[in-house]
Copies of this chain bind each other. A is one copy, B any other.
C-alpha cells in the first residue's frame, strides 16, 4: 500500500430538490458568479430558470456563458477567462455534466493566472495553478465525476489535442446532485456515463501496488454495483433509486476515494492508459468519451493482461464471478473481458472501432502524439497501435 494524501473537501448536497440550495451555497463562494453551461437542455427542462431564481433570491450577482460542447474546447475557456476578468467575476458555477464542469474548472484556473491557461494542461504541463476561483456545481449527467474530482479535460482545437489538467485546488467547493434531473437524459447519454464511471474505477483498480486490499474490495464493490445499475436504468429509467445510486456511483468513481493507497506513489492513482488512448478518438472523431472507453478498455485488457495475470484473474473472479478452473488462468481472464464486452453491448454501447466508423488511418499519427501512456502498464507507440488494432 502506498503513501497518499486524500483531501476531497467538496460539500456534496445530494437528493431530491437540492438545486433549490444553489443560491445560498453560491453566495458563500463570492460576490459575482459566472454561470457556465452547455446547450439548451437546462433551459428546456426548467433547470436554468430554477437556478437563476435561486441565485437572485440569495442576492448573488451573476453573468452567464453558455455553449459548452461535449469535449469542451479551449477557445470557449479563453473567452470565459476574458469575460470573468472584464466583469470582475470571483467564482464560477457550472450547471451541466462533465463538460460544463471541466470548462468551468479551466476558467477558474485561468482567471488569476498571468500566462495562458493551456500551460496547466497536457502530460508535460508548463505550470501548476497557485490559486483558482472557487467553483460550484449543479450536476445533470452522472458520468465524468468531475463534480468532486481534482482535474479537468479540455480539447485544444489547434491540433485537436484533448488533455487533462489537475490540481488539488480545482475540486469544487460544493456539488449539488439531484438524481431527478437525470430522468430526461436519453439512454445513450446514460450509457456513456455508465461506461465512463466504470472506466474510472477500472483505471484505479489496475495499478502496480500490491496489498491494497481495502481499496481493492471497495473498487470491486463499486464495479459490481455499476454492473447491476446499468441494465436497471435501461429497463426502468424513471426509477428514482436506480438513478440516485447511479449518480452517486459516478461521483464516487472519480472522487478519489476508490484510488487511495494504490499507485499513488507515482503521484496519481491507477493506470490511465485507456483514457489516454481514448482521448484522441473523441477529439479527432467526435465520438462520445464513454463509447470510446467501452471500445478501448477491453482491447487494452487483451493486450496487457498476460503481464499481470493474478490481478486480472482476481478481476474476472471477483467482479464478474468467473468460476472456470484455475488451471487455465488465461481462460478466466478472457471470460471476464468477454463479460465486460457483453455488459457494454447490453448498454447499447459499441465495443469495436468499426462500429463507430473509425478505421486505422490515424493510428500511427495518434500513437506518436500520445506515447508513452500508462502508469501500471507502460505502452510505447507500437503498443498503442497494437491496442488500436485489437479494437478494430
Contacts and interface: CB of A to CB of B under 8 A. Distances in A.
A68 interface: no
Contacts of A390: none
Nearest to A255: B257
A49 interface: no
A125 interface: no
Interface in A1-41: 1-16, 18
Contacts of A6: 11-12, 14
A245 B16 contact: no
Interface string A219-242: 011101100110000000000111
A211 interface: yes
A252 interface: yes
Interface string A116-132: 00000000000000000
Interface in A94-147: none
A170 B241 CA distance: 31
B12 A9 contact: no
A218 interface: yes
B11 A15 contact: no
A214 interface: yes
A261 B14 contact: yes
A388 B210 CA distance: 43
A229 B213 contact: yes
A248 interface: yes
Contacts of A212: 241, 245
Contacts of A242: 211
Nearest to A216: B225
Nearest to A3: B15
A11 B217 CA distance: 23
Nearest to A16: B3
B218 A222 contact: yes
Contact of A14 (B210, B257, B260): B260
Nearest to A265: B15
A249 to B, nearest CB: 5
Interface centre among A6, A215, A225, A261 (most CB of B within 10 A): A6
B213 A245 contact: yes
A339 to B, nearest CB: 18
A385 interface: no
A244 interface: yes
A241 B12 contact: no
Contacts of A3: 14-16, 18
Contacts of A13: 5
A3 B180 CA distance: 12
A180 to B, nearest CB: 11
Contact of A1 (B7, B8, B11, B241): B241
Interface in A164-222: 210-218, 220-222
Interface of A: 1-16, 18, 210-218, 220-222, 224-225, 228-229, 240-242, 244-245, 248-249, 252, 257, 260-261
Closest 6 CB pairs of A and B: A3-B15, A211-B241, A221-B221, A217-B221, A7-B11, A9-B9
